[in-house]
Structure 1
Amino acid sequence: MTPGRPLAKSLLGAAVVMLLATGCPGGAGEGKAVPTSPRAQTRVAGGTLNVLMHADFEHLDPARNYVAQGLDFGRLLYRSLTTYKSEPGGVGTDVVGDLATDAGTIGAGGTSWKFTLRPGLRYEDGTVIKAADVKYGVERAFDPELNEGPQYIQLLLANVPPGYQGPKKSGKSLSSIVVQGNTITFQLKRAVSDFNYATTEPTTVPVPRTRDTGVRYDDRVFSSGPYKIDRYERGKTLTLSRNVYWDRRTDPVRGAYPDTIVCSFGLDTATIDQRLIADSGPDKAAIELGTPLAPESIAQALSNAAVKSRSVRGLNGHLSYLAINTKKVPKLEVRQAINYAVNREAYRIARGGRTAGDYATTIMTPLLPGYHAYDLYKARPQGDPDKAKRLLQQAGVPLPLKLTVASSSIGMGVAQAVALQSALKRAGIDLEIQAVPPGVYYGTIGDVTKMPELAFSTWGPDWPSGSTVLPPQFDGRQIRAKGNTNLSQLNNPAINAEIDRISAIRDPKQQAPEWSKLDEQIMGLAPIVPLLYNAGIHVRGSKIRGAYLHAFYGEWDVVSLSVG
């Protein structure tokens, strides 16, 4: 554990305590004691856990998995070198060994990290999980067809040949990942004191070379976790059953209580809400993933004491924002005008009102170390259309200015786009709405050729540090053709240089406030409009035990749930 991590833990823990106090069994009010904690509930083995979702996972291939509900759910199927504890509260951000015996050993002044695999690790067919499979899993993530996932390890590794595209396409292995028996050592370009947080990402999930099917691996990943895929009809259903070769004694995190897990895709949000509120039949053993209560369902749920006792609400550490494509909106005055024109109040109403979160004016969220509050564009929550018009006139653009925004094609995605359309209209901007199916949404806006002028998005830190917020979203050197997370396509030399300077600071306590200063510097270029520090209300079935929102994923901790 690196210096400063206890601060991150306490901040995240405070949010989760508030979150649990509003909706755990017993219906305690905010700030009051909760009679029944998830830790105290008796979990039982057996039964079927039902997962209700409006869209399929974008990706389950560990090299491509980079959306919160997919990362959360993926832990049922596979294991990484390290992982987060599965416990309620702030300890959920503590890193522990997963495949590895511990959280890793740092060496060579921070430029080397060594991990030793546990004995007794086996895939779903009974074959032994090898350190060489972890190395292969990292290397295949360099393939441009598979690179939608996290990029931290790829960018940090030393001696990567220019243009390297993974072992299949480049025909070679990386010298900076050294395997000796059951140990694996990563040699890095620079000192990184919290590299063991990067190894929690599915980039380090083992993949046997003989099982790698390229882009089709999404459809049938090979299990190293407690469950394996029995049936997968993309967009319809996914059924998991036990991996009989998974050994609980080798796994400090996963409970693996249900015998079977069934995901149902393609449900509209109203249907999910009503099924969970009604709590009937199989839905008594159901949860949702990625679908907190829709605005129209909130009053119904919270006015019912029984439903309220099965609900959880609170901030989750994520930021909802409007990305502005700086390649298609190159004039600073126009991007600033959009910041003034946006009506956050209408946006929040579209997302469900006050329960959806707090108004945001920064890129980093209040739960992160080093965060400081500021507001460069001092507009009311309703926006300042007159100021926006003056900036558009200064920019010399023809009015009305025509722009396009990408938004999800269902539920709140439609409502938020309409709210934005109305707000920008007041400032002299005609907005066309591009409705994108949720199952391909991030793949679409992450394609630099398909990203329109504007797009709604959400970002949560990969671990409690500004290093997992600002570089992946605003370092111009990280822009890639597909799987791009720098949605604004900002490539500013001064910003890039500042990222390098801050990254070189080895003490996280000293580093944290520098990220916050950079946050404000980036917002001076107006590449996004911060909208909300996200919150949501999640409801579970009455037979679900051990339920809490994980402090990192912001979703139900699926590896700890039982049915009974």
Structure 2
Amino acid sequence: MYPNGPSYQLTYFTDGDTYKGPYTSGDTYSGVETPDADTLVIHLRQPFADLPFYLSYPLFTPIPKDKDTRERYKDGPLATGPYQFDTLTAGIELTLKKNPYWDADSDAARHQYPDRWDFKWGSELVKNQQQVLNSTGPDASALDYENVDSSLIPQLSGARANQLVKGDSPCTSVLNLDSRKLPIEVRKAVAKAYPADQLYQAEGQNDLVAQPASTIMPPSVPGYRKYPPLPDLSGTGKGDPAAAKAMLAAAGRLGFELSWYYDNTKPIREQLNQIQADALTAAGFTVKPIGVATAEFRRRVHDYYSPVNLGQSPSAWCSDWPAGGSWFPVLFQSHSLLDGQSWGMLSDPELDAEIDEIGKLPAEQRNARWMRLDQQLMARYVVVPRFYNKLAFLVGTNIGGAEGDSTLAMPLLANLFCKT
């Protein structure tokens, strides 16, 4: 999603902001030391309590230099786990076969239950999920890890109810408000007018896959604590255009222009845009939605210097690991603007310092402080929270061991097996 990839190493590793990787900067890097063949030492320029989480990323998998095929590596990575690439048709299908060199005794967290895996992409969602529900022939040993489509929910009764696997997700969806361009009285009026219920329904959300949000961090993150929602930030309601218009009038802001991009190639996106535009127009705003094609939309919403003032990316955030350290330092510090992943487009040295301070606290103190900061940031009205994502996926009748991974919002693939 972000062209520069994860930025934690830029912030926390020694010289991480200047080292450009081995292809550009060579093999000598002061942030990493390898004193022998079995030891990796990482030098930090500031405390990074969540480093063990970050080290679980696949990008930390060691790659022998003679196996590094650079841009071709993604087509045939070195296998260090229970499976290895068999065939790959980019963007369409990937099959995995057992890795004969994998030793189960050295890797208790993973298993080699199925003989092979076959991943397929690009098929029509509802058709695919219906096949999984029907579980005819090979479809009984299939699953679809996209959330279940609302049109199929009426079928999930009786025996088929057991084919639905539910769980939590580490994601929160929001309307991003650019605090550089929108005064707080305008941001509060946007929240007052926001048609949350209408958008939720039009988008096809339901209680299986989403729940209204009133905080930044979702309930799945350890340390989450629900606090009373700030006014008009409950993730629910039809909006109150008349009250929002009165707020604008009192602030001398009637007719304030709001602008955003939307994808005009998808009917559902056009419908959502119209609902939002109608509600904000009724609230006394002048609205300027800018419709663009999908590829252009993705490019423009990442441009924080484009001529819009709300709806920039990211419209949702999923924590990289279950802690506040993968929310607030990423989304709300000044560097977030340069990283292209900012909520509210804040550049506040005092906030930067507070986030750094919390990150240095012992684990038992950090969680409470993150939630206190969560509430403080919501009071600045830099986002309008929409919903927390939830996990609800379908499995065939021959699939066993199916459960959700709330950290990745995915099935826990390592535990899946075929019953027969």
- 1:524–1:199 distance in 2 versus 1, CA, 3 Å: same
Residue in 2 that maps onto 1:498: 354
- Cα distance per residue 1:95-146 (max 9 Å; x no partner): xxxxxxxxxxxxxxxxxxxxxxxxxxxxxxxxxxxxxxxxxxxxxxxxxx6x
Residue in 1 that maps onto 2:223: 369
- 1:353–1:516 distance in 2 versus 1, CA, 3 Å: same
Question: Quick check: 1:547–1:556 contact (8 Å CA) kept in 2?
Answer: yes
Residue in 1 that maps onto 2:317: 459
SS at match of 1:318: strand
- Cα distance per residue 1:450-487 (max 9 Å; x no partner): 79631463323333321111111111224335xx3325
Question: Quick check: 1:229–1:240 contact (8 Å CA) kept in 2?
Answer: yes
Measure, in 2, the Cα distance between the counterparts of 1:162 and 1:461: 22
Code of the residue aligned with 1:552 in structure 2: it is T
Residue in 2 that maps onto 1:247: 103
User: Shift of the alpha carbon at 1:308?
Assistant: 0.9
SS at match of 1:309: helix
CA RMSD of aligned residues (A): 3.2
Matches within 5 A, 1:235-274: 235-274=91-130
Give unmatched runs, 5+ long, in structure 2: none
- 1:510–1:206 distance in 2 versus 1, CA, 3 Å: same
Measure, in 1, the Cα distance between the counterparts of 2:376 and 2:128: 41
Measure, in 1, the Cα distance between the counterparts of 2:254 and 2:269: 29
Say if 2:120 is the partner of 1:284. no
Question: Quick check: 2:166–2:404 contact (8 Å CA) kept in 1?
Answer: no
Say if 2:327 is the partner of 1:469. yes
Say if 2:413 is the partner of 1:555. no
TM-score by length of structure 1 reads 0.65
Question: Quick check: 2:168–2:389 contact (8 Å CA) kept in 1?
Answer: yes
Question: Quick check: 1:307–1:539 contact (8 Å CA) kept in 2?
Answer: no
Residue in 2 that maps onto 1:171: 26
Measure, in 2, the Cα distance between the counterparts of 1:406 and 1:205: 38
Matches within 5 A, 1:150-169: 150-158=6-14, 160=15, 163-169=18-24
- Cα distance per residue 1:151-192 (max 9 Å; x no partner): 33442223x165221121122422232212212122222344
- 1:492–1:387 distance in 2 versus 1, CA, 3 Å: farther
Residue in 2 that maps onto 1:206: 62
Residue in 1 that maps onto 2:162: 309
- 1:400–1:335 distance in 2 versus 1, CA, 3 Å: closer
Measure, in 2, the Cα distance between the counterparts of 1:449 and 1:209: 40
Find 2:380's aligned residue among 512, 525, 531: 525
Question: Quick check: 1:323–1:454 contact (8 Å CA) kept in 2?
Answer: yes
Say if 2:335 is the partner of 1:335. no
- Cα distance per residue 1:1-28 (max 9 Å; x no partner): xxxxxxxxxxxxxxxxxxxxxxxxxxxx
Measure, in 2, the Cα distance between the counterparts of 1:285 and 1:417: 39
User: Shift of the alpha carbon at 1:395?
Assistant: 6.4
SS at match of 1:196: helix
Measure, in 2, the Cα distance between the counterparts of 1:449 and 1:221: 37
Identity of matched residues, %: 25
User: Shift of the alpha carbon at 1:258?
Assistant: 1.9
Code of the residue aligned with 2:193 in structure 1: it is A
TM-score by length of structure 2 reads 0.85
Find 1:485's aligned residue among 330, 335, 341: 341
Code of the residue aligned with 2:160 in structure 1: it is V
User: Between Structure 1 and Structure 2, how many residues are aligned?
Assistant: 410
User: Shift of the alpha carbon at 1:397?
Assistant: 5.9
User: Shift of the alpha carbon at 1:369?
Assistant: 0.5
Measure, in 2, the Cα distance between the counterparts of 1:409 and 1:205: 39
Give unmatched runs, 5+ long, in structure 1: 1-57, 59-63, 65-144
- Cα distance per residue 1:332-356 (max 9 Å; x no partner): 3333332222222223323333333
